[in-house]
Amino acid sequence: MKNSLPSLQLLLIGVDSYLPGILLSTDTSQVDFYSRIYLHPCYKMKTNTVISLMSLMSIWMWTGEGQIFQPELTSNAFLAKVTSNTVILKQPYCVFNQPCPGCEIWLVAGLCSANGTFDALVNSSTTNILSLSPYPTAFNPSSNNFFLTRVGLLSDFPCNQYPNDRYFVVGADGICSGVNCNGVLPDGSTVCFKYLLIDANRTLINSSNWSGNITLPKLLPLQTIYDGLSARSGAMVVITTILCVAAALLLLLFLIMLCVTCCRPTKKDSKQISVMNSIRIPRYDTHNLKERVHPYDNPAYQSDLKNYSTSSTLPKNGARKL
Amino acid sequence: MGAGALTCLMFVVIALNAIAAAAGLALFAVAIWVAVDGYKLYPISGVSGKDDIFAAAWIAIFTGFAFFLTCIYGIFAALKRSRGFMMVYLIIMFIIFLFECASAITAATNRDYLVGNSNLVKKQMLQYFADSSTQGKQITQTWNRVMEQVECCGADGPSDWIQYNSTFKQMFGSTYIWPLSCCKRLSTFEVEDKEGCMVGKASTIFPKGCFQHIESVLSRYTWAVSWYGFSVLMLVFFTLVIAMIYYMQLE
């Protein structure tokens, strides 16, 4: 069975089913095609029907140009469309348009480097291709690097419906152990897909094209995230500098204040007028009130009392004789 | 200095001390708010060992209340016109000033480590979410609550869970791409569309990241302690300078 069927050949197959015997040669030029129709013995009888059939066919050909014939990524904007080990594809609507009761659509998922391996195995082997490469050992170092998994019945994907929002997740079963389970793909690999049409007897009827290369992003280990200091914010710098300056200034002012207040007595003495020997404090209680308070002291000199409270502070030379 | 000017200076000192006492009490209240952690984001800083924002808040509680008490004492000391009392007041205020400086600087510096960019928060989430250790349970609980309440997923977005390996991926990666907390829920708390959420359909998942919310909360805590502490300190600085002048004019 041919792997790729251009739309004109499909048209011929369709016409062949309606006007038997037309497909006598493999020549597919358009002139020959139309001449064969017009010269067909049944042509005169079925002219009108042929014309309507042709118009239907041309419409179908036109719509058929939009038909996908290979697996494609879903057109939805899913966040997990392509992860490191799963891929989300469109559902295979209108991929295989032939009538095939009880047929199923299967998906071949594997490394793109194994495309040739799969094709060769399919062409050469006559055994059941579904168990060619069981999933659990599929991606071992010396294995085939592909696996097959069932997508659904052909009848579930008719061509007259074309919902774009339906999707199929490759890898939905996680790390599974079945022969044909929908397991995850190898991390960070480049994968390709292909649809197969398998009938009820498990024989291959048809297969689509290989999809384009889909590169899965490699999973990053979380140790690669650098969580050290990124940058210092401006606010932090301002607060730190101004507060440090303020604290230092305060300490400085405090020390200056202490110096000024502690050194004040000596400075005061040199500034103030020193008491001269001529000032005389009359003492009226020399004889009877020596040890007690002196009530006859002049209150004007009350503040100077402590300067003269002991004999050592009295002027040494005493009163000068006037 | 004349007696009139001295009295005027005394009133200025008393007024400034009254204002500083009120400011100190407000600092006490704000620091209690930070320490109580109403947004319940403490595990994010606690697990990484960088919880100095909360340590600074505790210091600010004590210094705020100490400012309040000392400034009241300062009013009393100024009224007494006593050098001894003023000296005690100045020394105590200076010590409290230094502690409050430490609190403000610590909070501001530590914030840069935690939420300068999303890396630390993201790495912590990937490492500890769904982990069974004590820290893992705390982080899981915190992130689940944040993702559900703030309606976000991951640190920068759901793609964090896809790009990086994580404990969650090791444990649940074959069934779930990202946690169910990332999915939109009905009012009955059921997930609206689990299939769509696991695929990443935009209407069933929260597309924005949680880092912005976490950063804004931790910044709010930091600026409460550090900028407000800074402004209280500037007021106290000015008060102390005036008090020192008053001290020098006494006697």
Contact check, Cβ <8 Å, A219/B165: yes
Contact check, Cβ <8 Å, B116/A88: no
Residue B95 token pair: 């010590």
Mean pLDDT across chain B, nearest whole number?
A: 94
At residue A22, the pLDDT reads 46
Contact check, Cβ <8 Å, A220/B163: yes
Could you give the CA distance from residue B163 to residue B118 in angstroms, rounded to a whole number? 15
Chain B residues touching A231 at Cβ < 8 A: 112, 116-117
pLDDT along chain A (322 residues), means of 10: 44 48 45 54 58 57 55 88 91 84 90 89 78 85 88 86 85 87 90 90 87 92 89 92 96 93 64 59 64 62 59 56 48
Q: Which residue type, as a one-letter code, is found at position A259?
A: C
Q: What is the pTM of this model?
A: 0.75
Chain B residues touching A243 at Cβ < 8 A: 101, 104-105, 230, 233
Could you give the CA distance from residue B247 to residue B245 in angstroms, rounded to a whole number? 5
Complex ipTM value: 0.91
At residue B185, φ and ψ (nearest 5 deg) are -125, 155
At residue A45, the pLDDT reads 53
Of A221, A227, A233, which is closest to B165 when you measure between CB atoms?
Answer: A221
Could you give the CA distance from residue A210 to residue A205 in angstroms, rounded to a whole number? 16
At residue A24, the pLDDT reads 45
Could you give the CA distance from residue B89 to residue A237 in angstroms, rounded to a whole number? 30
Which of B52, B159, B222, B244 is the best substitution to test chain A (most A C-beta atoms within 10 A)? B244
Could you give the CA distance from residue B71 to residue B89 in angstroms, rounded to a whole number? 8
Q: Give the closest-approach CA distance of B119 to chain A in angstroms.
A: 5
At B108-150, the pLDDT tens digits run 999 999 999 899 999 999 999 999 999 999 999 999 999 999 9
Could you give the CA distance from residue B36 to residue B60 in angstroms, rounded to a whole number? 13
Q: Find the range with the poorest average confidence among A140-144, A286-290, B175-179, B247-251.
A: A286-290
Cα nearest neighbour of A252 on chain B: B241
| DSSP string for residues in A114-170 | GHHHHHHHHHH--S-GGGSS-GGGTTSTTS-SEEEEEEEEGGGS-SS---TT-EEEE
State what percent of residues in chain B have pLDDT above 90: 90
At residue A124, the pLDDT reads 80
Q: Give the closest-approach CA distance of A24 to chain B in angstroms.
A: 50
Could you give the CA distance from residue A218 to residue B165 in angstroms, rounded to a whole number? 10
**Radius of gyration of chain A measured on its C-alpha atoms:** 53
Question: Residue B7: is its pLDDT beyond 90?
Answer: yes
Chain B residues touching A173 at Cβ < 8 A: 174
Q: Give the closest-approach CA distance of B21 to chain A in angstroms.
A: 19
A-B Cβ pairs (cutoff 8 Å, strict): 129
SS3 category, A284: coil
Contact check, Cβ <8 Å, A250/B90: no
Point out which residues pair with B204 in neighbouring strands.
Answer: none
Of B94, B108, B241, which is closest to A235 when you measure between CB atoms?
Answer: B108
Which of B199, B240, B248 is the best substitution to test chain A (most A C-beta atoms within 10 A)? B199
At residue A156, the pLDDT reads 85
Could you give the CA distance from residue A127 to residue A132 in angstroms, rounded to a whole number? 8
**Reported confidence tier of residue B167, pLDDT bands at 50, 70, 90:** very high
Residue A11 token pair: 């048209």
At residue A26, the pLDDT reads 43
Q: Give the closest-approach CA distance of B188 to chain A in angstroms.
A: 26
Cα nearest neighbour of A169 on chain B: B199
Task: Show the DSSP H helices in chain A as ranges.
Answer: 7-18, 30-38, 47-64, 115-124, 234-262, 264-271
Which of A250, A257, A260 is the best substitution to test chain B (most B C-beta atoms within 10 A)? A250
At A10-34, the pLDDT tens digits run 444 444 445 444 444 444 444 455 5
Closest CA to A41 of A63, A10, A19: A19
Cα nearest neighbour of A240 on chain B: B105
What is the distance, to the nearest Å, from the Cα of residue A279 to the centroid of all Cα atoms in its chain? 96
At A87-145, the pLDDT tens digits run 999 888 888 888 888 888 999 999 999 888 888 888 887 677 888 888 888 888 888 88
At residue A205, φ and ψ (nearest 5 deg) are -95, -50
At residue A14, the pLDDT reads 47
At residue B2, the pLDDT reads 83
Chain B residues touching A221 at Cβ < 8 A: 164-165
Q: Which residue type, as a one-letter code, is found at position A208?
A: S
Q: Which residue type, as a one-letter code, is found at position B100?
A: E
Of A79, A230, A235, which is closest to B205 when you measure between CB atoms?
Answer: A79
Chain B residues touching A79 at Cβ < 8 A: 158-159, 162, 199-200, 202, 205, 207
Contact check, Cβ <8 Å, B109/A240: yes
Contact check, Cβ <8 Å, B127/A220: no
Cα nearest neighbour of B240 on chain A: A250
At residue A88, the pLDDT reads 93
Q: CB-hemisphere CA count at 13 Å for B5?
A: 6
